[in-house]
């Protein structure tokens, strides 16, 4: 009998992470140092004023264990796109326009050819974001960083800062039942759930495939499929924000569709129902390969861990949905209505493969 396999089994304990995040409230006392007024709390982060009606949104993000896949495949020129994407896609959730990027790379050894490849991806991500890279650091820390390939270990983190005017802040407030959720297509697994991906798909960590294998249905090497860079949503989101009022913007990353429940704290009494999914083949491969390894990865677990084809979610008033779709149509992110807001508080429902699921 196959064993149920979850993200916790893969090594990322969700319950522990929730408990650990409670410590973040101890940072609130530092808000008194904000020089130009109070810090504004938003659903997915905080922004701080730099003058009466202008705010900055500062985000720092990493690409996690996706760097291990880059090492395994000996391909380093796209991972920087992921690092930039994780930061700038978070900045725009507040409606802020990214102004500056800085990178931090801790390396086992700062080999010049590796540094050049890392920066190539960061530059491409910056170009897609139309945002300058104004600072950064590369540190040699061989006693801390060890790689799966000799002397090629590294960790990559990017910080981004953006600016938003008070009247343009995406607050997460006034979301109502029947408001539509518009999805922007992902490019693949992005940079989330990679711990599970590694342990199911790659022999290096107990999975099935060598990095150069081409599983049925993929059409290219499995490592290259996983390394497909995270989509950057800066230009489509900002273009839409100039045309309609965005009620909420959700970067669908860790915790998958459970992330939408955070919005209940700003718009009480709401829930969500999603019913439009055509996931990339990589997601089916993860479940299928898990079964071949005698693991059961449920559909519920997939939607709590992965983006399942939609990397970003936008909520607008139902009267604005047609305008929003028209604005986004030329952006290359295949915008579609993927669900709606309901009156079932803190309930995330998924309609998929003729099944009805509730994520818990």
pLDDT, tens only, 33-65 = 999 999 999 999 999 999 989 999 999 999 999
- For the segment 284-295, the average pLDDT, to the nearest whole number, is 98
Q: pLDDT averaged over the chain?
A: 97
- Using 50, 70 and 90 to split pLDDT, how confident is the model at 250? very high
Q: CA-to-CA distance for 195 and 306, rounded, in angstroms? A: 11
The pLDDT of residue 32 is: 95
pLDDT at 218 over 70: yes
Tokens describing residue 140 = 């040699």
Give the pLDDT mean for 151-171.
Answer: 97
Domains and CATH numbers, the chain: 34-168 (3.30.1330.10), 180-359 (3.90.650.10)
Provide the phi-psi class of 95: left if phi over 0, else alpha when psi is between -120 and 50, else beta: left
275, 339 contact by CB (below 8 A): yes
Q: β-pairing, 348-352 with 271-274?
A: parallel
pLDDT of res. 2: 80
pLDDT 10s digits, 118-145: 999 999 999 999 999 999 999 999 999 9
- Kindly state the percentage of the chain with pLDDT values over 90: 96
With a cut of 80, say whether residue 1 has pLDDT above it: no
């Amino acid at each position: 009998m196959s064993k149920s396999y979850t993200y916790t089994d893969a090594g990322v304990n969700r319950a522990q992470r929730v408990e650990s995040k409670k410590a973040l409230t101890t940072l609130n006392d530092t808000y008194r140092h904000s020089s130009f007024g109070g810090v504004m709390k938003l659903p997915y982060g905080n922004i701080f004023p730099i003058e009466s009606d202008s705010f900055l949104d500062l985000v720092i993000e990493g690409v996690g264990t996706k760097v291990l896949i880059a090492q395994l495949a000996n391909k380093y020129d796209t991972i920087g796109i992921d690092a930039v994407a994780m930061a700038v896609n978070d900045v725009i959730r507040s409606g802020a326009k990214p102004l500056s990027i800085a990178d931090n790379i801790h390396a086992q050894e700062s080999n010049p050819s590796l540094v050049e490849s890392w920066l190539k991806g960061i530059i491409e991500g910056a170009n897609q974001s139309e945002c300058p890279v104004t600072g950064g650091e590369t540190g040699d820390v061989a006693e801390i960083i060890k790689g799966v390939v000799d002397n090629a270990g590294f960790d990559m983190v990017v910080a981004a800062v953006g600016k938003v005017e008070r009247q343009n802040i995406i607050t997460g407030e006034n979301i109502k039942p029947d408001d539509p959720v518009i999805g922007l297509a992902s490019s693949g697994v992005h940079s989330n759930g990679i711990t599970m991906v590694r342990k199911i798909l790659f022999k290096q960590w107990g999975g099935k495939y060598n990095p150069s294998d081409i599983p049925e249905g993929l059409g290219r090497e499995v490592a290259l499929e996983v390394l497909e860079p995270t989509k950057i949503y800066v230009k489509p989101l900002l273009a839409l924000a100039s045309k309609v009022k965005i009620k909420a913007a959700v970067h669908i990353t860790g915790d998958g569709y459970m992330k939408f429940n955070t919005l209940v704290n700003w718009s009480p009494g709401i829930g969500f129902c999603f019913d439009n999914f055509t996931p990339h083949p990589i997601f089916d491969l993860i479940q299928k390969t898990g079964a071949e390894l005698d693991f059961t990865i449920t559909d519920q677990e997939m939607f709590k861990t992965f983006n399942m084809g939609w990397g970003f979610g936008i909520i607008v008033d139902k009267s604005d949905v047609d305008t929003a779709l028209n604005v986004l149509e030329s952006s290359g992110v295949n915008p579609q209505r993927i669900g709606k807001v309901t009156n079932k508080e803190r309930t995330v429902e998924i309609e998929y493969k003729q099944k009805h699921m509730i994520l818990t």
